[in-house]
Amino acid sequence: MSEFKPYANFILLDNVVEELKTEGGFTITGDEAKKFIVSQADVVSVGPDVKGVSAGHKIFYRKGRSFKIVVNGKRHVMVPENEVVAVEY
């Protein structure tokens, strides 16, 4: 297994929340969930130019410029730092 480090201002994410729950407990998935432009995920690692976000943080990010990749056989999402809208420390 090799170490993977994002380049420049990219952030490697894991545990992306693909489903949403309403206050009433209903689960929103599929096409309805795709209408939401923001997702939540855990930060695995960050590029050297990223400021204010570190491995272990949870973030909310805009999905528009994110993309899926496979690292060491596991699916992840990469997102540029400027797509982050909130950080949970």
**Domain span holding position 27:** 10-88
Please tell me the predicted confidence (pLDDT) of residue 43.
Answer: 96
**Is 77 inside any structural domain?**
yes
Please tell me the predicted confidence (pLDDT) of residue 18.
Answer: 65
- Our count of domains for the chain comes to 1
What CATH code is carried by the domain that includes residue 24? 2.30.33.40
CB atoms near residue 44 (< 10 Å): 19
Model confidence at 56: pLDDT above 80: yes
Model confidence at 54: pLDDT above 90: yes
Cα(20)–Cα(18) distance, integer angstroms: 7
**Is 53 inside any structural domain?**
yes
Cα(63)–Cα(75) distance, integer angstroms: 16
Interval 6-33: pLDDT, tens: 999 999 999 887 666 777 887 777 776 6
Residue 72: pLDDT band with limits 50, 70, 90: confident
Q: Tokens representing 26? A: 């209903």
